[in-house]
Amino acid sequence: MKFLIVCLGNIGEEYANTRHNIGFIIGDALAADLGAKFSTDRYASRAEARFRGKTIVIIKPTTYMNLSGKAYRYWLTQENVSIENSLVVVDDLDLDTGMLRMKTKGSGGSHNGLNNIIEVLGRNDFPRLRVGIGSDFAKGFQVDYVLGRFSRDEEKIFIEKIPNAIEMIKSFIIAGPTDSMNRYNNK
């Protein structure tokens, strides 16, 4: 059985360690945890590992956030993975900093990456792990906030939460989304 973990973010040094790139940060941590290395491939950096007898493909799209659907669709097809066996890891303004929530469907809200995936796939019923980045910004400054670097306090929170995110992803692979949501979403 094969799983595709799609970790959203933007490529380039100017976006490293920004709130919008928490998906890339978790993807890097997951790959390191599984002993996998990324290499550049079509539309994404790609890593592959084995976990409990399953093949795990982790991608970090190189299409930039607003065109994430192109990379997601390509790798679903390329790897022959069902949408149910894929998980999108994404930042979320609607959750407090460091809060983790798994969902199996939903709108993209104000997230351009999710909205592009929904547009490209023509559906919104794909599993996702939402990573809270909070919304501590003045009206009209959302872009500056999501593309801004973590504060020291935020860094401390995420350093503690990244292992939990990896645990949730592994649970998704082993037990599926429903069991994972029941086990982790209210903690």
Rounded Cα–Cα distance for residues 138 and 120 (Å):
31
The arithmetic mean of pLDDT across residues 58-65, rounded, is 96
47: tokens are 């890593």
pLDDT given for residue 138 in this prediction: 86
Q: Is the pLDDT of residue 181 over 70?
A: yes
Quick one: DSSP state of residue 149? B
Q: Is the pLDDT of residue 187 over 90?
A: no
Percentage of residues in the chain with pLDDT exceeding 70? 99
Q: Is the pLDDT of residue 136 over 90?
A: no
Residue 50: band (very low, low, confident or very high) from pLDDT cuts 50, 70, 90 = very high
Active site residues: 20
Using an 8 Å Cβ cutoff, are 65 and 8 in contact?
yes
Q: Which residue type is seen at 5?
A: I
The arithmetic mean of pLDDT across residues 122-127, rounded, is 96
pLDDT given for residue 110 in this prediction: 86
Residue 186: band (very low, low, confident or very high) from pLDDT cuts 50, 70, 90 = low
pLDDT given for residue 74 in this prediction: 98
The arithmetic mean of pLDDT across residues 83-100, rounded, is 96
124: tokens are 């919104």
pTM score, whole prediction: 0.96
Residue 179: band (very low, low, confident or very high) from pLDDT cuts 50, 70, 90 = very high
The arithmetic mean of pLDDT across residues 157-170, rounded, is 96
Q: Output phi, psi for 13, to 5 deg.
A: -60, -35
pLDDT given for residue 100 in this prediction: 96
Using an 8 Å Cβ cutoff, are 88 and 117 in contact?
yes
**Domains, in order of start, for the chain:** 2-184 (3.40.50.1470)
